[in-house]
Each structure stands twice: as structure tokens, then as C-alpha cells.
Chain A
């Protein structure tokens, strides 16, 4: 870190009592960077997996009326109607102990799935449930005549979904998908409860040690605004790139 930056923030503390340790204390800035990196990793992985979960779920709901569709509906109902924190505790403290454990170098049992992995699993399943609904609504918004036309041209139902309905339905679901992914970005803070060193967790460690709660609260507020801003920007860019007149908002 630049010496000028360090001096500036030390003076800010001395003259105005604004204590931003992350800009002059090496240990704290290292922790803070770890936090940002972990949060970004969480967001990236969970966006990826939750979109896949959403896509698969929506396709099952579209094509099947059997037990598979019932299972997807049950999953959506269960996940949407229980708090994320409880789901995360359920996986971390509830499911993990019944899984087989490995052994560490010093001969102690170690769970095979760590806290970061459980955070990715629970966040992806959580956001995935909402994404299923978004994609399902998007597919539902495509006029029936498109599917009928495709079937009349000799497409199978799966082909009609793949080549006609899904590309058009996707465009309808962007607005609601953006909503889900912004929510997912903010929800990564819940991983704090199971000790994942994401942004809120490291900030809590920092303000507990340096007693600069007010400053850190403001810092994380700004960082999250930037992160959610980036997510929104990325989705709108994708939306613009895929724009077809008449399908989905501009």
C-alpha cells in the first residue's frame, strides 16, 4: 500500500477520529481484501449454479407432469418458505455430521465439505428456487402460437423448447432474474453465520478488534452498492446484447 495513502488515513484518524484501519493497518487490509475476494467468489459460483438449477427446474416443470415435476415444485415451496439462515445452519450443523469424514495430518477427523462449500450449496439452492420461478414465468410469457407453429413444422416438444421457447422466454425473465441475482449478492452475507470469511465476517472481525463499527458499516455499505451495481450492469449488458424487438423490456 502506498505510503501516502497510509499517512492520509492515519491523519484522518488523528485529526477527525475517522478510523479506517483497512487503509493503514497491514493485517486489517489483508483481511479486508480476503473478505472481498471471498464474497466475489461466492457471488460468481452461486450465480452460476443457481442459474443452472433454475434452468433445469424450469425445463422439468415445462415438460413433465409426473413425480419429477412434483419434486421440483416441492423443492421450490420448501426453499422459498424457509429462512436462508436456517437452511445454511441445517446444512452446516445438521447434514454435515452424518456425512463421512476424512482425516487430517495430525490424525483428527475433518469434514469433507467445508463451510465455504456449504455456503455455495445453500445459496445456490436458495437462489435457484427463485430462478426456477423466473424462468418458468418467462417461458409462460411466450405466446402459445410460437410453440404450436414449431410443433406444426415437425419439431418435437423438446426441440420446440430448445430452439424457440427457451431463447424467447429467457428474454422475458431478465428483469426478474436481475432481481434474484441482486438478492443473491446481498444474501452472501448470511455465510457469516457459518464462519465463511466473506465481507461482513471480516468487517465484523475488524470492528471487533479496532472498535470502528461506524466506519466499517459505511465501508461495507458502499462495497455492496458497488457489487450489486456490477451485477445489475452485467445483466443489463447481456440483456442489451440479446435484445429482440418485442421480447422483454429494453
Chain B
């Protein structure tokens, strides 16, 4: 009996073959994530989408902000395209550990606990402490006076626990910055527990935040880190990102991006730039 190979079957086999060879290409990278990124030309970046000006969505719905600019620059250096995945404070480490993103650039402070879960790349690219945005009507001069007070906060922020343990604050946490701000405006809490950087930015908007202030000293200045999976930390991907961050400090690009996003030069970036900058004249 004569058998014909059905054309559809043949086409399917061809497509499968092509897919398999692309897979094989990726497979030849073994577990080298950098190699896989350069093969697929896609760098999957986890960022937030509600943390202006670090990472947010612009009017057209695209990701924008300091961290997005940095991710675009990383991807460009790799000849790849940055693909952004929205994460939030509570799920970002899981997203990275599970491989849904290759690198997390989501305003994550580096803490000892977190270092056990993901690989924080050095040097750090930013830094902040925590503080409380309070109405001017509240005459508070000392952190201790906040004991027992309800303060709005973001779910998953690392300082919620220390602030409640140290100062007896009662955090009322919401999943997004928008809910946090409306809860404050509605008097659900007396202030917002958050990054001092962010508070400075909010206070710069004198219309929206007239009547609010940051009367207390910031606590526990903590550097922010980009993170990769622990397996990638001392592999090409981790080393590459570390080099890129060093380069941004050295060239002053981080300070430039910060300025372009309307943030006053932060002490941390100035110090890092001074420490890394070229002291010799640039060769021609």
C-alpha cells in the first residue's frame, strides 16, 4: 500500500523541527542565563508600576522611570530587548526565584534575610532610609510619640516590621501606592511610612502635599540592589550587571538619570560617583 505524507503533517513536522533547533540553541547555554538572554534577545525585567519616579507607567501605559531607563540600558548593552514584568513588593522575590524574570530592578532594599533568597548584585545602585510623611498639624518631635498610632504603609515593605517592633507603630498596609495615599487623605491613618526619597519627592509637589511634612529623622539608611537568581550571582549575568552598575556610577550616568527624572542628587549617588570616578584626564 502506498502511503502519502499529508502536507499539513509535513508542515507541522518542519515547524516543530525549527522550534526544536531554537530550543537546542538555548539548551547549549546550559544554565547560563546570560547566554540564554543573548540567544533569545529578551531580557525579562521585574519592576513595579506604581512607584514614581523609579518605575511607573506613563500616559500611554508603557513602563517608565529611573529603573526602567537602567533596564533599557542593560538590555541595549546585551543587544537584547527589555521585557518588563509588573511585580509588587510582596511577590517580587518569588517572581525572580521562579524564573519568571531574569533580573529584578524594583526598588528593593538589600537586607540579610533577602540575600538568602535572591542574589543581590554589587555595587548597589541607590539607597534610602524609612521615614513618615505626617500632616503639619501633628506636632511630633520624636519617633517614640508615634507609638500606638496607625500609619499607612505598603504591603511587603521591609521596614514595616522594624518600625512596628522598634516604635510601636501600627502599620495599615495596602497593596498599591494609590490606595495608601487615598487612605491617608481620608484620615484612615495619620501618616505614611515609606522611603525618605519618595517622601522628599511628594513634598516637592507643594500643591498635592501642602500641609504635610517629614519632621522626624530618617531611619536605617539601606542600599537598594538589583537582584538575580542566587545561581546567577557569580555567573556571567551577575558579573555583567555588577559591571554595568559600576560603570553607571563611574560615568555619572546614574546621577544624570536621577536628575532627568526630577530627583535632587541623592547623597548616596554623589558619594558612589566620587568613589568610582576617573581621576586621570580622559585620553583622546
Contacts and interface: CB of A to CB of B under 8 A. Distances in A.
B137 A211 contact: no
A211 B117 contact: yes
Nearest to A210: B113
B188 interface: yes
B89 interface: yes
Contacts of A115: 172, 188
A97 interface: yes
Given A96-B186, A106-B190, A109-B187, A207 B90 contact: yes
B187 A211 contact: no
Nearest to B93: A211
Interface string A196-208: 0000010011011
Interface residues of A, number: 25
Contacts, number: 63
A208 B190 contact: no
A209 interface: yes
A91 to B, nearest CB: 12
A208 B187 contact: no
B114 interface: yes
B266 interface: no
Contact of B160 (A101, A110, A205): A205
B93 A195 contact: no
B137 A208 contact: no
Interface in A202-250: 204-205, 207-211, 213
A205 B173 contact: yes
A209 B164 CA distance: 12
A111 B186 contact: yes
B114 A211 contact: yes
A83 to B, nearest CB: 16
Nearest to A208: B156
A1 interface: no
Contacts of A208: 89-90, 155-157, 160
A205 B172 CA distance: 10
Contacts of A210: 113
A92 to B, nearest CB: 8
Given A96-B186, A211-B114, A108 B138 contact: yes
B137 A108 contact: yes
Interface in A33-55: none
Contacts of B190: 104, 106, 108
Nearest to A209: B161
Contacts of B135: 108
A101 B160 CA distance: 27
Nearest to A206: B161
14 contacts: A27-B165, A93-B182, A93-B183, A108-B187, A110-B187, A111-B188, A115-B172, A115-B188, A193-B175, A195-B173, A195-B183, A205-B155, A209-B113, A213-B91
Interface of B: 89-91, 93-94, 113-114, 116-117, 135, 137-138, 155-158, 160-161, 165, 171-175, 179, 182-183, 186-188, 190
